Every structure is written in C-alpha cells, then in structure tokens.
Chains A and B, each alone.
Chain A
C-alpha cells in the first residue's frame, strides 16, 4: 500500500510539472548569454587576463615577438652567422622575408595570443557598456567604491585591447600612411563579443585606417578612465596601467600615424608629471623584480618570485640577449650592427674590420650597464660560449635577465626616456632647437654624458641618442623611422641583395598565419 501511494504521488508530481512547462520546445529554448563575473572583484579577473597573455607563453608571447621581429628586421641589428638558427625565425626577420615567406614560429603564434586578449576584453567591455547604456550598474549591490573600481577596470580593458590591436597593426598590416588610403584589410577587427560559431567564421576584416582609428579610440578612452595612480588590491601592483601608460601608448599612436602635434601634447602631459623622472641609473629600469619600483618606468610586465607559471616566460628574449649568468649562447642570434655602432660612436668601423672600442663609449652609462662587448672567442674578455665561439668582437644588448634572479626580471614596456627623445625630435622638426636640446640633454645627463648645445644639435644627434637608449625595446626602431617617414637602411646587410625600405613601407608586414587564412572565410572573398 505504501509503495502504491508513493507511486501515485510521483505520477501526480510528473503531471503537474509537465503541465506547467511547454513541452514542445523544451529542448529548443535559448539560454541568454551570461557573463561569468558576478561582482567587481570577479571582474578584476577579466582585467588581469588581458595583461596575462602579453607575456604568458615562454617562446611566442606577443611582447617578445614584436621585440624580436622589429629588432631583427631593423638596421641596428646584425645576425651572427655562427649562431644556431633552429627554433626561431630569426634568419627570416633579418632577411626581411615578410614579402615571400609565410609567418612561422613567433610571428605566427603571437597572433592567437593577441586575439585571446581581444576576445576576453571585448566580453568584459560589452557587459559594462551594455549596463551603462541601460542606465544600470553592471552588478547588483554596488557601492561607490565598487563603481570607481569598475571605471578603472574599464579603462584597463580598453588599454589592453588597444595594446593588442597595436601589436596586430605593427606586425600583420602595413604601417599607416598619412598620405594614403589605408584601405587594405589584413586581420579581423572585432569589438563586440560574438555569441555563436557562425559569426566567428566570417568576421569583418578591418582596414588599416579602421584599425588605427580603433586603437586611438581605445587609448583615448583608457586615458579618460584611468586614474594617475591608485591603490591596487593586487599583491604585486606593478604591471597595471594608469593614465600615463595610456598617454604613453597614445603618444606612440599619434607619432606613428603622423599626428605629431597631438604626439607632442601627450609628451608634454607625461613629462610634466611629478611621478616619474630620470634620477636613477639606466640599469634600474631593467634589474628589478616584482614590486620593486623604478622612477622611470611607467608601465611594465612584472614578474613575481616565486612565479606561479613555468618560468620560461621570458624565453623569447634569449634570442637577442647576452647575459652574465644566463648566456643565451646557442640561441642568441642578434648583436648590435657594426654600422650602428659606428654611427653612435661606440666602435670605429666593425664592418671594415676595425673593431676598436672608442674610449668615449665608456663614459656612457648605457654602454657600460645595458650593453656588453665581448672580444673574439679565446681572447681576454672573449665570447665565452663554447658552441658558437664568435671569432670577432661583438656588442650585445644586455637589457634582459638583469635582476638577481634573471628569469623574474621585470620588462619595462613604457619608460620615461622614450618621451624625452620623442619630444626632442618633434621639437627639432618644428624648429625649436632650444627645446630639442633641452630634452635630449636630460637623457644624456642621466647617461653621464655632456650636453649638446642648441646651436650644434642636429637631427642625427637625436636619432643616435635614441639608438643608444632604446635599441631592441618593443619595436622602437621601426616605429621611430616609420613615424618620421625615414628609410629603414640595410645596416650590415649585403648591399647587393638588400635595399633600404622606403616610406610608405607598403610591404613591411607579415601575413597572418596560414591556418587563419584557411579557416577564416573572410580571406577567401
């Protein structure tokens, strides 16, 4: 009897349930998209995700890729014939093979990490913007402090999305041409969060103009929303963007797209801040880890010790570094070009066999702290690497792995010296030699060098100062020449096989990876 009653009760329950649900389309009901963040604290995870992918992968992270690609393609790098080429695409960068070779290794893999940032940030921004357009808070139960935090997070999301598209635009599309149409399309430009697979397969490819407009918009929004400084809940607060970081990226965008007045205005803004100065030696930007601070660095990728990640993260930097405790050795492929060393007065004429070190170089703190000269293997202070055994003196970039635990060295992404140098050339080009000299001398004084007078200063002085200061950092050389519409010379390359790359640099970009072209329907139209 008991069992019978239970059975009857069960049947009644079933009937009641099914009668109040519409059985017809029970399995066809659409579930509305729900974002995974339920409060401001959880939203911070989305913000950190964007930063993470810049440097997360050991060999192919975007941060290192642009550095390696731009340095290798520039006139200030030279390819060591003895170095083992194996696991990277260094030879193709040096040979400027972007027109004929498909993207491979770093330049192929970095592509996907940039889109991880974009997709993640699009999702979070969509949620926030949707809430704003509907006149409500994005989360329930928010208080004033939360709202302030969320505004900052929004700024950081715009910032990293701008950074991701900046890297895509620098690597996979021709540079912006102020005199051109900029209507060629190379990669997907997406600013919303896609909710079904079909839309992912035929997305819109942005034109060069549209992409740069988006990048500029994102950094302008970021600058508007980000505070100058803030107390962060991060255990390791270094590495998050602030208003000056956004201004720094904006300077770069304006400079490379030919909007030089605006670039100068941003430089003025940054250089007027009391938060940063060049009071510390050049090495300080490069030999810190974690939360150790630097007066010069505006934005950096910070590493913690112990790292929660397999610490090969900076691995890509071993491809163009020399380091006392961690000599890149077999994989270190690039040194500073002899032609550049001659130009900047650090070596007499290496290309023609005169490797004499010019004594004045030893007065320059950058030369002694951030670069390393090795003599020929076997000589005193000769190349210590037993595999490669470089038989000539070479000057290596020595900016990376400089903290006491090399692998956890913070990587400065934006530092103050750059804006003195940028403003210097902008002032010079506008006829303000006084201002130009003043700016370049701040950098020179920090390096321990004497001033250049306003009467004697030339554009080459400013160009050379930038080579000494910023070589190999974040694609600076290519960016600088493109911004000034100067030719990219051949450096140490064979003049019979290479020509300078002239403005508008229309071929100066790598194709998107083959697999993207195969799977993305928009490329076949």
Chain B
C-alpha cells in the first residue's frame, strides 16, 4: 500500500511531517449484486429497473515488521485523527472519546483510555475532564469506525409512456463515519470563522444541573477547572478546534439520496427522412434533489482524503449543489 507515514517533527519534513512509503498488505472483501430487469413491456408503456448493491470489509493485514512488532500503527494525519494498524480497517478513527458534559461544572468529559502493550486501546472505566493534555493522551481506537462505507449501492427506474419518459436514480452508502470539523468550528467562538451554530444558544450548558449535549460555551475552550476537575484560578485549555478532535464531532455518514430525476417528452415531428429536423426531445431534470441522512453537515457524500484516508468536512470545501436544468435536444 502507498501510505503516508508520519515521521517525527524533528525530521523537518515540510507539509505534514510525513513521507509516502510503499508498505504493508491489505485485504478487501465483500459481495456485489447487480440486477437489471424489464418489469413491464406493453405497446405504449415500458418500465425498467436496475440496481446494484455492494458490501465491503477492509482490513490491514500487515505494515512494516517493526510497526507490527510494537503494535504502534501509523498516524497519517496532522492533527492525529486516524490510525492505520494491522488488524484494523484502513483509516480507523482514533481520537478522544467524548463522555458528555459534567452537569455541575459544564466542562466536557472524555473516557480515560489505556493503551495496551500490543497497541490496542480500551476504557479504564474512569471518566475524566477533557483537557488538551487529557485528549492528547487518551485517544481511543474507535471500534469499527472508518471513513469507508460498509455498504454502497444504487437503483434506477425508468418509465416510458408513449412519448413521455421519466427516470430516477437513487444512491446510498452506509456504515461510514465523517469527522465534522465544520461543526466543531461553529461551536467554538474564537476560530475566526465569524459564524456560529445556533446550537450554542439552545444546547449548551448554562448552570449547574443542566444536562446538555455540549459543554459551556467559553472563549478559547478555556475553563477554570484543572485536569482533576478541581477549581483553578488560571484558565486551563480543553482542546482546540484545529488540534484536538474528539468523537463528539464524529458523525455517521449514512445517506440515501435521490441523485437524479428526469422528465422528458419526445415532441412529435412530422415528415419522413426527407425533413432536416428528425426529432426533438424536451426534458426537465434535477440532480441531488432529496437526501435522507442524519449527518448534520451540508452533504454526506464526501471524498476520502488519500493522505489521511479519512473524510473530514471543513469550511473550505463546497458541498455538491442541487441542480435543475431544462433542456431541448434536437436531432438533425
């Protein structure tokens, strides 16, 4: 595999401190179905459907002997969000695991994580304040969570009635997770994006006793509680939007989308082969019309970055547009 392996900062390699290396073995396996059927065929009416469905399981079988001996794995991204390790799928999400908000203090909490000798991680059972140090030192290999969908597919249906036609294409993917860094920025008041999510007003901790999804909104993620949760008279930082990802912002990317819908009409043209104009087809079509998804970002159909093998959504990428077009096709 061609993988971007991180090298220490002291190597002085510019642009993400990593080097492409040809290492390791990987396995992909699954099932794929494809079906195409003419359901109905009458004189004036025809109905055709088709579809495909595929499952995919991916597993890294080996990296380098040295990495496999230590169980360390490769962290291809900067900041660290993913890990590539033998026995796991490619680009397994690897970050602090959010454990909710302390209802008395309003600070974010994470699960304390123990990294074993063979490189696997597990909860110790404690829940601790999610300071920057804690988040960096307690990264969890989130089981089964990667950016690669486990099932993908689509189906299309086409109807023709006399000179009218309609076709639809739906596609879907499921089983993958997307890191919504955009939402993390929108929930953090000082990142320079100058836009904030309204969830800051509706779903953040305000006073002791509040049980909310998000912690108290503070400038610069700084709270007056230390790493043990005790009051502190200096601010302590609890992660930063661009340096410390945590699973609060890791979302399922499952979606089901009406990718395209087209209505068309063959305008009747008189005359035989002698005429110049042989046919006219008028159509109205739309792309990306409907999407059913729980993903809170603009669009769950995102690419997987080939360096970090992950899907991270941020402010810099334009989502796909919904497009309507009206067209005439003439044959001469």
Q: Is B175 an interface residue (CB 8 A)?
A: no
Give the chain B neighbours of A516 by CB distance below 8 A: 8-10
Evaluate contact between B19 and A513: CB separation under 8 angstroms.
no
Evaluate contact between A519 and B190: CB separation under 8 angstroms.
no
Q: Is B174 an interface residue (CB 8 A)?
A: no
Taken together as a complex, chains A and B put the C-alpha atoms of A437 and B212 apart, in Å, by 67
Q: Is B49 an interface residue (CB 8 A)?
A: no
Q: Determine how close the nearest CB of chain B comes to the CB of A131; give it in whole angstroms.
A: 22
Taken together as a complex, chains A and B put the C-alpha atoms of A152 and B32 apart, in Å, by 65
Q: Determine how close the nearest CB of chain B comes to the CB of A97; give it in whole angstroms.
A: 8
> B20's closest neighbor in chain A, by CB?
A197
Evaluate contact between B80 and A203: CB separation under 8 angstroms.
no
As a 0/1 sequence over residues 506 to 525 of chain A, the CB contacts with chain B under 8 angstroms (1 = contact) are 00000011111001100000
Give the chain A neighbours of B7 by CB distance below 8 A: 197, 200-201, 519
Q: Give the contacts of B1-50 with A (CB-CB under 8 A).
A: 5-14, 17, 19, 21
Evaluate contact between A515 and B80: CB separation under 8 angstroms.
yes
Q: Is A102 an interface residue (CB 8 A)?
A: yes
Taken together as a complex, chains A and B put the C-alpha atoms of A516 and B222 apart, in Å, by 24
As a 0/1 sequence over residues 80 to 122 of chain B, the CB contacts with chain A under 8 angstroms (1 = contact) are 1000000000000000000000000000000000000000000
Q: Is B237 an interface residue (CB 8 A)?
A: yes
Taken together as a complex, chains A and B put the C-alpha atoms of A111 and B8 apart, in Å, by 11
Evaluate contact between B12 and A85: CB separation under 8 angstroms.
no
Q: Is B234 an interface residue (CB 8 A)?
A: yes
Give the chain B neighbours of A87 by CB distance below 8 A: 190, 220
Evaluate contact between A200 and B5: CB separation under 8 angstroms.
no
Q: Is B195 an interface residue (CB 8 A)?
A: no
Residue tally, chain A, CB below 8 Å to B: 33
> A190's closest neighbor in chain B, by CB?
B10
Taken together as a complex, chains A and B put the C-alpha atoms of A301 and B271 apart, in Å, by 80
Q: Give the residue of A95, A119, A201, A520 whose beta carbon is less than 8 angstroms from that of B12.
A: A119
Taken together as a complex, chains A and B put the C-alpha atoms of A104 and B132 apart, in Å, by 9
With A86-B190, A86-B219 in contact, do A120 and B19 touch (Cβ < 8 Å)? no
Evaluate contact between A197 and B19: CB separation under 8 angstroms.
yes
Evaluate contact between B17 and A112: CB separation under 8 angstroms.
yes
Q: Determine how close the nearest CB of chain A comes to the CB of B84; give it in whole angstroms.
A: 14
Evaluate contact between A519 and B235: CB separation under 8 angstroms.
no
Evaluate contact between A118 and B190: CB separation under 8 angstroms.
no
Evaluate contact between A513 and B9: CB separation under 8 angstroms.
yes
Evaluate contact between B237 and A104: CB separation under 8 angstroms.
yes
> A197's closest neighbor in chain B, by CB?
B19
Residue tally, chain B, CB below 8 Å to A: 26
Q: Is B136 an interface residue (CB 8 A)?
A: yes
Evaluate contact between B235 and A120: CB separation under 8 angstroms.
no
Taken together as a complex, chains A and B put the C-alpha atoms of A428 and B19 apart, in Å, by 54
With A119-B13, A187-B10, A194-B11 in contact, do A514 and B220 touch (Cβ < 8 Å)? no
Q: Is A115 an interface residue (CB 8 A)?
A: yes
Evaluate contact between A515 and B13: CB separation under 8 angstroms.
no
With A85-B220, A86-B220 in contact, do A200 and B235 touch (Cβ < 8 Å)? no
Evaluate contact between A84 and B8: CB separation under 8 angstroms.
no
Q: Is B133 an interface residue (CB 8 A)?
A: yes
Evaluate contact between B219 and A116: CB separation under 8 angstroms.
no
Q: Is A486 an interface residue (CB 8 A)?
A: no
Give the chain B neighbours of A200 by CB distance below 8 A: 7-8, 11
Q: Is A91 an interface residue (CB 8 A)?
A: yes
Q: Give the residue of B8, B190, B222, B235 whose beta carbon is less than 8 angstroms from that of A520.
A: B8
> B78's closest neighbor in chain A, by CB?
A515
Give the chain B neighbours of A197 by CB distance below 8 A: 5, 7, 19, 21
Q: Determine how close the nearest CB of chain A comes to the CB of B85; give it in whole angstroms.
A: 14
Q: Determine how close the nearest CB of chain B comes to the CB of A186; give it in whole angstroms.
A: 11
Give the chain A neighbours of B80 by CB distance below 8 A: 515
Evaluate contact between B14 and A116: CB separation under 8 angstroms.
yes
Q: Give the contacts of A190-210 with B (CB-CB under 8 A).
A: 190, 194, 197, 200-201, 203
Evaluate contact between B9 and A515: CB separation under 8 angstroms.
yes
Evaluate contact between A201 and B237: CB separation under 8 angstroms.
no
Give the chain A neighbours of B14 by CB distance below 8 A: 116
With A86-B222, A197-B19 in contact, do A91 and B10 touch (Cβ < 8 Å)? no
Q: Give the contacts of A161-190 with B (CB-CB under 8 A).
A: 187-188, 190
Q: Determine how close the nearest CB of chain A comes to the CB of B103; give it in whole angstroms.
A: 25
Evaluate contact between B234 and A112: CB separation under 8 angstroms.
no
Taken together as a complex, chains A and B put the C-alpha atoms of A203 and B9 apart, in Å, by 12
Evaluate contact between B234 and A91: CB separation under 8 angstroms.
yes
Give the chain B neighbours of A111 by CB distance below 8 A: 9-10
Evaluate contact between B222 and A188: CB separation under 8 angstroms.
no
Q: Is A225 an interface residue (CB 8 A)?
A: no
> B11's closest neighbor in chain A, by CB?
A200
As a 0/1 sequence over residues 94 to 117 of chain A, the CB contacts with chain B under 8 angstroms (1 = contact) are 010000011010000001100111
Evaluate contact between B220 and A119: CB separation under 8 angstroms.
no
> B133's closest neighbor in chain A, by CB?
A102
Q: Give the contacts of A428-451 with B (CB-CB under 8 A).
A: none
Give the chain A neighbours of B21 by CB distance below 8 A: 197
> A205's closest neighbor in chain B, by CB?
B10
> A104's closest neighbor in chain B, by CB?
B132
Give the chain A neighbours of B13 by CB distance below 8 A: 119
Evaluate contact between B8 and A519: CB separation under 8 angstroms.
yes
Give the chain B neighbours of A188 by CB distance below 8 A: 8, 10
> B75's closest neighbor in chain A, by CB?
A519
Taken together as a complex, chains A and B put the C-alpha atoms of A87 and B80 apart, in Å, by 20
With A85-B235, A91-B234 in contact, do A115 and B11 touch (Cβ < 8 Å)? yes
With A91-B234, A91-B235 in contact, do A115 and B10 touch (Cβ < 8 Å)? yes
> B188's closest neighbor in chain A, by CB?
A86
Give the chain B neighbours of A520 by CB distance below 8 A: 8, 10
Evaluate contact between B9 and A85: CB separation under 8 angstroms.
no
Taken together as a complex, chains A and B put the C-alpha atoms of A102 and B137 apart, in Å, by 11
Name 12 interchain pairs, CB-CB below 8 A, sorted by A. A85-B220, A87-B190, A91-B235, A102-B133, A104-B237, A112-B17, A197-B5, A197-B21, A201-B7, A201-B8, A519-B7, A520-B10
* Residues of A near any B CB (own CB < 8 A): 84-87, 91-92, 95, 101-102, 104, 111-112, 115-120, 187-188, 190, 194, 197, 200-201, 203, 512-516, 519-520
Inter-chain pairs besides A119-B11, A516-B8, A519-B75, 9 sampled, C-beta below 8 Å: A84-B220, A115-B11, A188-B10, A197-B7, A200-B11, A201-B7, A203-B8, A203-B10, A516-B9
The 9 closest A-B pairs by CB, nearest first: A86-B220, A119-B12, A115-B12, A188-B10, A520-B8, A200-B11, A519-B8, A112-B9, A516-B9
